Every structure is written in C-alpha cells, then in structure tokens.
Structure 1
Amino acid sequence: MEKEQLFRHKILPVGTIVVAIIVLWYVAAVALNAPFQRDLDRRANVTSTTMEFIGKTMSQPKPIMPAPHQVAVNVFENTFLRSVTSNRSLVYNAWVTLSSTGVGFVFGTLLGILIAVGIVHVTTLDRSLMPWIIASQTVPILAIAPMVIVVLAAVNITGLIPKALISTYLSFFPVTVGMVKGLRSPEAMHLDLMRTYSATPAQVFWKLRVPASVPFLFTSMKVAVAASLVGAIVGELPTGAVAGIGAKLLAGAYYSQTIDIWAALVAGSVLAALLVAIVSIVARAVDRAMGGRPA
C-alpha cells in the first residue's frame, strides 16, 4: 500500500514531467539543428529520408542544441571513463567548483546568522542595515564578480578565495532573511510566558528564538547552497579558470563544443541537487534531535 502511494504521489508525477521534458528536448534539438543539416545535405547533394534526416540532426558533432542522448554519453564518458585527475573529468571539475562553493556557503551562512541576530535585537540595525542588504541583491552578480576578481588580484589574492567571496555574497542574503523571520516567529504569548518566568534575554534567545528559527534556517540554507554554487561558477568565468564547471563552460563556448557545455550544465545541476539533498538530510537529523516527529 505504501509503495503504491509512493508511486502515485511521487514517482509517477516526477517521471511524467521528466519524460515530457525529454520529448520536448528532442523536438527542439531536431527543429534547431535541421537548418544546418539541410544546408549540409544540399552542399553534399545528398537526399535523405525523413527518419535519416532526423537521425542526422541528432548526431551532429557540434549541434546548436545537442540531443539528450549526446549529453548523456558525454556525461558518462567524462565521469566514469576518465581519470579523476584529468582536466576533462567532470568529477575533477565539479570538485574544484565544490571547494569554493563549500567555503562560500559556510561563510555566507555564518554571516547571515550574525546579521540576522543583530537585526532582530538592535532596532538601529533593522532600520539601517536591512534596506542595504536588500539593495545589495539588486546588483547583477555578473557585474560584481569581475570587480571582486580584479581588486583581489591587485593585492595578490587569487584562487579559491575570490570565488568563495562571490559565493558568500549570494548565499548570505537568503540565510539573513530566513533567520530574521525565524527569530521573530515566536508568538507574543510565548515571549510573555518567558518574561513571567523571569528569563534573561540570553535565555529567551537560546531557549525560544533559536529553536523556533531552526526550520526557517534550514529552508533558507537550501536556497543559499544552490546560490553559493551559482556564485562559484560565475566566479570562475572572469578569471579564465582552467578547472571547474565554469571553466568547462568557457572552454565549450570558446571551441563551440555545445555538447560539453550542456554536459557541464547537467553536472552543475546534479551537484546542486546533491548539495540541497545533504542540507535536507541534516535538517531532518536536527529535527529528530530536537524531538520532532518524522514525516
């Protein structure tokens, strides 16, 4: 019975959407690659049947849009058939990007929590700092990343730190907003009860506000870890990096290797999904440790 419910409510809907995406992807690949293939056949004076023509559009070495199976083969080859120390290995490039992502995520989370605590407890910070934090996120990261790279390079700071700072910039905002909401989530009745017990501000913070903010924190961390990954990839673009998912995207664009570009995008998506899943697992463990009931 539980397996049937799992299939109906989770596997079937997700599977249906995945199949629909793949079908639309194939249709788009044929439609976008058809003009170039038609021109090739005309130049070679070749006449193909409809099925042969469709097959050619999905087997071009440098297609405008690669077919799903081309991307899947590329991902498989560069993940399992290459040494993890090779520059072409997706595992190696993902690890390079993951390193700056992890550092930026940790710093962003800590910074977000500290800012949120200050905003909740200091009225001046709430009125003066919060508007600036919101305004900071209106500046495109593509405009900020080159400035960060250039300024830090001028003082001989290169490598992981600039990319981690860009990840921190993107990841601290959702944590800040989530923690502010969480720390302010206790009801007035609960706060009054703590005052009735003559609780100190520190006790109110640790015994009421912090436990109430934990669900908000982990929800915001799921957004932050994905944003941190985006920041790490964007940080690799203006540096001319030789390794990392961003470097794979740059190399693919430079040599018109669209299959490599899409494979790098898939690798980034898988990495983001794994990071969010890890945060979810930690959130469940913390929830159980705090006495929460398993869903």
Structure 2
Amino acid sequence: MMNDRLRFLPAVRGVLLAGLVVSLTWAAEPPVLPLWPEGVPGLKPEAGPEKDDGQGRYSAIHYPSLVVHQPEAASRTGTAVIYAAGGGYQRVAVGRNGGEITRWLNSLGVTVFVLKYRHADYGHPAPLQDALRAVRLVRSRAAEWGVLPGRIGMLGGSAGGHLSACAGSLFDAPEGKTGAALDSVSARPDFLVLIFPVITMEEPHVHAPSRRALLGEQPMAEVKERLSVERWVTRATSPTFLVHSAEDSVVVVENSLLYYQAMRRAGAPIEMHLYPKGPHGSGMAPALGPTSEWPRHCESWMRFNGWLPARPAS
C-alpha cells in the first residue's frame, strides 16, 4: 500500500505543477480588446504582427488594441484609466506586464486599459483616432468591466501625454471619427494625468523627434498648429493633473507651462506639480526626493475630485 502511494505522488505533483503553469500563463495574459473589429481605418497593405522587444516596448502596431488590467475584485472602484505610454510616436513603451504605472493604478482599485496605438508608420490622424476610439469603446462597454461611464480618465507620459492631452481637447474632432456608429459615444476623458508631456508642435519648445514621427519632416504650419494642444484648450477640456521637472532636457518644461497657462486662460481645472529634479522618463523612480511624491499627490487629487472614493476617516 505504501509503495502504491509513493508511486502515486509523482503523478499528483505533475498535475499540480501543470495546473500552476496554466494558472500563471492565464494570469500573464490579460484580455485584449481590438479597437477596430470592423477593420482598421487606413490599414497599410504591409500590415503584420506588432513587434515586442521583450521589455514591453511595442512598435509596428497596425492593429491597435486595449490590454485590460483589472485590480482584485474586492478593491475595484468603478474608475478606469486608459494608459497611453510614451515613446516619441515611434514605439509604445509600456513596460513589462503593463508597467509600474499600471501596477500603481491597480493598487488604487483602478481598472487600466493599456492603449497600443498606431504611431510613426501611420502619422496623424491615426493616433488620435485610436485614442478617441479607446475612450468610446471603454465607455460603451463600461458595465462589462465594472466601470462607471463617468469615471473614465486617460494617463499619458511624453508623447503619450501629447496624445492624452489631444483627447482631452479634441475629443469631438472630425478627424477622430470614422463614420462608425460608435462615433456617437462621447470620447471626452473625464480627467487627464499628464506626466512630462509633449504639448506643442511649434518652435521653440517642440520635441522635434515626436513631431517628425507624427507629422513628417516638414509639416505645414496649419498642421503644426492643429496638433499644438495649447491652442485648443477650452473650458470643456478635461480636468488635468500635470507633472513635469525643470531638469527634463528631452521634452522641455515649457511644454507643460504652455498647457497650464492655456488651461488657466480657459478656466479649465488643472493642478500642476513642477519639480526641480527628475530626468525625462523617470516615471515612478523612488530616489528623486519630492519628485517621487507625485503619485501620492495624484491619488489625493483623484480622491478630492470624486474619481476615487474618499479614504475612510481614521
């Protein structure tokens, strides 16, 4: 009898390990929602699979999508954030498993939809189309994901910050529509979080590589103006939490100052945190002194404005 049990143990162990592998594989593969199930507008004939460098940096995106990262069921707040990572409109640099931004937002009970958007292979208006379709898609299917349709924000850094800011002001732009039925759903994000964002496409403060990838080598003046977000801010622009550092030598801080001034002139709500230290792309780096505190301030801003529930009184 003992020998039979001993012979049985390896089989049990194998079944358990196989189950563990299946569980881990399932956990590592969050749901993916195609943005354009009816067909990608302007799809290029050479379209193929996207490229992933193994570090969560994606390029050659021809079939834009949303990757859904949900928090634990018990902690879900009904708030969603569409995350547009940066990459100079040449790639989408999310990071592994959704990146640190996604993990932070999940810890707050926020459902994160990582946006894989078209970029240099297509240029304008493809990224804007993808961003606005993402908001419309999440809002139209909010109940399916336990999301409240009035608590859908957008977060972006660097070029992803430019795209998010565009969505916050150009949410009803004709070039962001394709004639689909979903165009009737509001594409306005309820709030924006912009981290070291590209804002202007005009001299002297333009981030030239982002402009070149989005608009080409020599864009016409009216095209540069159209994609300079500071020119399109109105009172209806999404309330914004804005972070930048004076040390950023890649996307200079004047981008954020232009946006802040435009929001103030329009009477649109904005909270800006401008720090002396922090290189471009520092994200949530922990060793930057006060700069590392921006996620805590952002959380407080979200709670104060009702996009996250208030913390219970201690």
TM-score (norm 2): 0.21
Structure having the larger proportion of residues in strand? 2
Q: Which has the higher contact order (CA 8 A, sep 6+)?
A: 1
Structure having the larger proportion of residues in helix? 1
TM-score (norm 1): 0.22
